[in-house]
Amino acid sequence: MTRIAITVLTFGALAVATALGVAWFAVSPPGGRWEPAVNSLALLAGITGIFAERWATQREQRKQAIESIRLEMARNRETLDGEAFRPSAPPGRRVYPRLIQSAVDSAFASGALTPRRDAELIDLLHRWRSAVSSVNRRLELTEMLVFTSASTESAERFHEALHGAGSFMRDVRSLLDETQTYLDSRTSD
């Protein structure tokens, strides 16, 4: 409410001042129009500057959010390509590293991405966020099962399921590829 009131007061005062400046310019004698002209141009520059500053700030926030997401995706790629997730890794009890999604969450919470401009990216990131939550939850449940079981059979079955043909990790890697490709294509924005 306070922000709206300040915005209304600011723009209302600028609009009135601009109207008075234009009226002053119109009624001034031909030799005395420099002062109202300068006044009107200064007000116009002030109004334009407010919008330009807001636009620049939003653009910078969006750029920082996308760069953070890009770095987070690269970190997740390293995690998925790491020793723990390699098919050649020996099956056994282990604690798997988790995928991270803090930059994606931060981008959503800050409003740096706009549905009008970033609809496709937002859709990809929602799917990615859901996949990360699913992977981390599955790893957590599986680790509890594997570490509480007396036999190593459950760890071997999980290893087979993790790297099998129908593994959910293939879909996660595919979604990561898709998201990174999209982000790389948007570097000029």
pLDDT digits (tens, 9 = 90+) for 84-143: 888 888 888 889 999 999 999 999 999 999 999 999 999 999 999 999 999 999 999 989
How far apart, in Å, are the Cα atoms of 6 and each of 10, 11, 83, 174?
6, 9, 56, 48
Cα separation of 12 and 7, whole Å?
Answer: 8
Q: Using an 8 Å Cβ cutoff, are 125 and 73 in contact?
A: no
DSSP code of residue 155: H
Gyration radius from the chain CA atoms:
28
- The letter for the amino acid at 89 is A
The structure's pTM equals: 0.79
Between CA 71 and CA 69 the distance in angstroms is 5
Does 46 score more than 80 pLDDT? yes
Task: Please give the pLDDT value at position 52.
Answer: 93
- pLDDT attached to residue 97: 95
> What mean pLDDT comes out for the span 39-47?
87
Strand boundaries in 16-111, DSSP class E: none
Rounded to whole angstroms, the Cα distance separating 74 from 180 reads 8
- Residue range 53-62: mean pLDDT, rounded: 93
Whether residue 187 is predicted with pLDDT greater than 70 in this model: the reply is no
> What integer pLDDT is reported at residue 134 of this predicted model?
94
**Number of Cβ within a 10 Å radius of residue 151:** 8
User: Which amino acid, 134?
Assistant: S
Mean pLDDT of the chain: 89
